Chains A and B, each alone.
Chain A
Amino acid sequence: MKKKIAAVFIVVCMCIGMSACADSPEKNSDASSTEESSGDRETEAADGKYKIGFSQCVMNHPFRIAMVDSFKEVVGDYDDIESVVVEGNGDVQTEITNIESLIQQNCDAIVVSSLSGTSIYPAYKEVHDAGIPLIIAASGCATEEEDAYNFYDSFVSTDEVEMGIAAAQCANDLLEGKGNVVMIRGVVESTNSMNRYVGWNQEIPNYPGIKVIAEQSAEWLRLTANEVMANILQANDDIDLVYCENDEMALGALEAIRDADREDEMVIVSMDGQQDACEEIQNGGAFKVTITNNSDMKEAVSAAYAMAQGDSIDKRIILPYEIVTEDNVKDYIDKNY
């Protein structure tokens, strides 16, 4: 009977035993609780090549995929950088495991783009404890007073709160200060939806004429947005502007508006600057403005490269966002697509 316990204990002890005797490479010291001072790591990597890891939170959205492609492309230009990309599936536990595996692979710098807000901070702490520079790209990050603030070394992203504010300003310009707005949000619990929402709510109060008459979530999906918009059109007769938190949902809403042939009554403002959204703006329908989130990883990679070589980078590198409207949509498309 006792032999039955052996079956599991062999395996569990083997794991712990191996880890104890395995010669833990000097770079990642035992993750004991003593604070590892981060600054004084040696700079050059073993074979002169720097290894930069990139952990992407989820791979099912065009913007996220564009980030990974541009990361690989930009790294290609540097001849002494070796890139490691790990992909999550939206679950924060998987993301933490991925970041830990980057730490195991002795990366010289780690770039993280996460959707999971505060739940990801322990992984940031581990990267910090391991003395590896951490760059956060295009995702929520800790504000000053949170203790997670000193875990990361640089935040390279468009500031989504700013984008929310910009969206509110565009809405105000299009409506000349007065009108009914329908807001279609993404997955409410994801950080970039939360930040854009915070930005929008900061700005809207100072335009008293604008009234948000409906606010629904469509989980970033075009199909859901299509149905939600169709219902909203049923319930509200005079809609002047539809604000969507990403292009996918905006295009879905547009489809519903065209079905109800009320395209001339309202205009659409959205974010992300996807190709088909820009084309929609070009042929001048209800789709008026999209605020581009910057999926270009050039700054992030250069920041990581610099950090890997030991020189310091300032804490916040805010990438400019572009407001694409009818007039500048032409050259935006030529530049990006």
Chain B
Amino acid sequence: MKKREITQMIPVAMLIILMIAGSFLSANFLTVNNFSNILQYAVESAFIAIGMTFVLLIGEIDLSVGSVMAFASVIAAKMALAKQNIILILLVVLLIGLVCGIINGFIITQLRVEPFMGTLVMMMVMRACTFLFTGGGPLTGSVDASFKQIIKGNIANIPIGIWYVVIAFVIAYLVTAKTRFGRHVYAVGGGEETAKLFGVRVERIKMMVYAVSGILAALSGLLVTARIGIGEPRTGYDYEMTAITICVVGGVSMNGGKGGVQGTFIGLMVVSMIKNLMNLMNIDVNGQPIVTGIIILVTALVVTRKAKGSGRELVREI
């Protein structure tokens, strides 16, 4: 079994163990509509986790996704309450995501600010703008049903949320595995100097990655608005940390160049299942981060051990 398969097996093994344990612990865990329920409520985390996967693949980080999500959600709510047509709302949301992503990219690539600090600033600024826009409380009122259909409707009697998750991951997989942009993302993450040497425009790739992350965060903000029908400025607290958790559980390495969107999907399923299981078993939800935390440590320790087995080096690693 080649080394690469082993490292990708771990998240899958984690998933299977969880399913088996779940079926014992709660009778109606392993049912079709419970899983459709899990997938339906994982749409927002899925979009943000995919965006975060791209950023982690180039070896950097984006802390501003939670706040961008909230800002887009609040703007979309304002427009939806004013009964604007859905296409216009979608365009505005995409624009917000794009602009935030490009600002992030500009701060990091042109001003040479470290990704952690650059996106932390964006997080604080966007969160403040969100609350200043709504004046603190949520924007309430009645939203017409067709707007809610974005997340509530069914296509071929499968809830639309599941379609979003599946389509998003298929597109993301195609982009990372099959397009030149996707391969260059891995190249930048795997060896930036080498990539630059062979004509990969590293800075352009980074800008595009942050734009993708911003757009996906804004889209998930739109979905939240459709789901709850109001503009809640407190949306998206800690979503960036959850997204990083999902990616790391899925085997994406934070040094860049390793892991993939398929791992992130498994990570998403693992994390969502834990939350769902805890709700079903009526366990205090505060315990959930402990379980995910331990899973991360186990997968991370095992994955790094596996990578160590490469050839015999002369000088000892420190």
CB pair A60–B131 under 8 Å, yes or no, is yes
CB pair A65–B282 under 8 Å, yes or no, is no
CB distance from A226 to the nearest CB of B (A): 6
- Which one of A77-85, A112-120, A132-140, A214-222 is at the interface? A214-222
Residue of A62, A65, A216, A255 touching B279 (CB-CB under 8 A): A216
Q: A230-B41, A234-B28, A235-B280 are in contact. Are A255 and B229 (CB under 8 A)?
A: yes
CB distance from B47 to the nearest CB of A (A): 14
B190: Cβ under 8 A from any A Cβ: no
B138: Cβ under 8 A from any A Cβ: yes
B135: Cβ under 8 A from any A Cβ: yes
CB distance from A156 to the nearest CB of B (A): 22
CB pair A217–B34 under 8 Å, yes or no, is no
A93: Cβ under 8 A from any B Cβ: no
A-B contact count (CB 8 A): 77
Residues from chain A with Cβ under 8 Å of B141 in the complex: 276
- Which one of B9-17, B168-176, B197-205, B232-240 is at the interface? B232-240
Q: A234-B28, A235-B282, A255-B228 are in contact. Are A221 and B136 (CB under 8 A)?
A: no
Q: A65-B135, A216-B282, A231-B279 are in contact. Are A276 and B140 (CB under 8 A)?
A: yes
In residues 193-238 of chain A, which contact B (Cβ within 8 Å)? 213-217, 221-223, 226-228, 230-232, 234-235
In residues 126-152 of chain B, which contact A (Cβ within 8 Å)? 131, 135-138, 140-141, 152
CB pair A231–B138 under 8 Å, yes or no, is no
CB distance from A254 to the nearest CB of B (A): 11
Chain A interface residue count, CB cutoff 8 Å, equals 31
CB pair B37–A234 under 8 Å, yes or no, is yes
B177: Cβ under 8 A from any A Cβ: no
B247: Cβ under 8 A from any A Cβ: no
Residues from chain A with Cβ under 8 Å of B152 in the complex: 259
Chain B interface residue count, CB cutoff 8 Å, equals 34
B26: Cβ under 8 A from any A Cβ: yes
Residues from chain B with Cβ under 8 Å of A223 in the complex: 224, 227-228, 232, 235
CB pair A235–B279 under 8 Å, yes or no, is yes
Known: A60-B233, A64-B136. 14 other contacts (CB 8 A): A59-B136, A60-B136, A60-B234, A61-B137, A62-B137, A213-B282, A216-B285, A227-B41, A230-B37, A230-B40, A234-B33, A235-B28, A235-B282, A255-B229
Interfacial residues, chain B to chain A (CB-CB below 8 A): 26, 28, 31, 33-34, 37, 40-41, 131, 135-138, 140-141, 152, 224, 227-230, 232-235, 275-276, 279-282, 284-286
Could you list some 23 contacts between A and B, CB below 8 A?
A59-B136, A60-B131, A62-B137, A62-B140, A214-B282, A216-B282, A216-B285, A221-B232, A221-B235, A222-B138, A222-B228, A222-B230, A223-B227, A223-B228, A223-B232, A226-B41, A227-B41, A228-B285, A230-B40, A232-B279, A235-B279, A248-B138, A255-B229
Q: Which 6 A-B pairs have the closest CB atoms?
A: A231-B279, A62-B137, A235-B280, A59-B136, A227-B41, A65-B137
Interfacial residues, chain A to chain B (CB-CB below 8 A): 59-62, 64-65, 188, 213-217, 221-223, 226-228, 230-232, 234-235, 248, 251-252, 255, 259, 274-276
